[in-house]
Structure 1
Amino acid sequence: MKARLRPLALTLLVATALGTTTGCIRLPSPLGPDGMRAPLTAPGESAGPTPFASPDDSAGPLTGDDVDAAFAERERFFEEQQLPLDGTPLVAVTPAQKQFVAEQKDYAAQQGIEWTDRDESLSLALVADACETAILSYHRVDATTLQAHVATSPILAQLVPADLQGTDRANAEAPIASLMVYGTSFLCPDDADAWLTAYTEVYGG
């Protein structure tokens, strides 16, 4: 089932994150009618994360086979998504990616915002990073996974001022995380409902 989220233009999300303490921008809810990260290049150009959890709570410590399988799935994901790992900007190439970007672009136009190539690269990187986290978490995504992902994401670190704390930080993170969750319904739809549940638990609906 596709997560019920609205497309939110990343330009607006960044503006909201940077201006959250002034309250000058309000965005529509990604989760309902009225409620309320990303290298500039491809994700995965660093050494890369390690798997977070056992595929089964009762399975005990991870084995080498578990880790190898997670990384193999991660590589397949990037190959299937045709995402470059050489640091070049990301561009939508698959039908799902193109639909996701088209919805973002349409929303930006409705808000009078010019959609840029940078917005496209940022949005795709943000979502691909979340999909990668789900894979390396053995598709066991919950509120703790989301919180850890947001806290350690180099993408979010570029979009949310480091000095924000408490409610101000959560308010800055929430719209960016909502875009990420919305995008998972296109790039890794099997994980989208889990991300949506985690988002609702962490940031509310």
Structure 2
Amino acid sequence: MKKDHPASESAFFNPRFLAAFILCFLGVWMAMLSFASTPSSGTLTTVSGPVTYTAGPFVQPNPSPLGLGQLDTGPRCNSTTFPCDSFDLTVTLPAGYTGTHCNAAVKVTLSWVDTGTGQSDYDLYIYEGVVGNLGGNTPADFQSATSGYRPEIATVAPLKDGTTHYTIKIVPFQPTGETVNVKIELLPGSGGCGTAGFGGADKTKANSPRYITFNAPPGSSAEVSNGEFN
């Protein structure tokens, strides 16, 4: 005897329907992975040399924090409507490094070759710590200029001794299918750190007044023989 099956059940077990569902799922999955950074993490030290990685290609725009009518204080990042690339950066500096390298910084450079009409635009946002999805209400600790410059450059400073984790977010504000390149460098900085206590007030002693004599600049109206006398 022939047994009838509900239409929904028949459709679910239909080989063509099942194959189409699998292909659709794989397409979405591949789109999500297409812009994943390679590698996804790296460690920067005083002896490691620059850390580099690539991400892309990007095809879906993410018009945040400003765009589509929203006025956010930071970017929006998720795996569906606001795609971003995320890279985990670890910076490890020896004890005392920032004491002798007062102007040290981490320079992050994002570059790409435009494959469209020259209007592609990507932005860099850097957060201290491990950061996942973002809802637009978390300002970045460091970021590049959001004015369409190429390359985009963000500087992390001041630095800390020891190990510090950062999350680098790439926002494809206006992509046209580019694969981007990122270079992360440790800049030791130039110039000395100065002398401890320089510029501060002198220590005072009881019953020991201090006097400072200010001499008028030569030829100025502050000299005794110059200026007006009323």
> TM-score, normalized by length of structure 2?
0.18
Higher relative CO (Cα under 8 Å, sequence separation at least 6) belongs to: 1
Normalized per residue, the structure richer in helix is 1
> TM-score, normalized by length of structure 1?
0.20
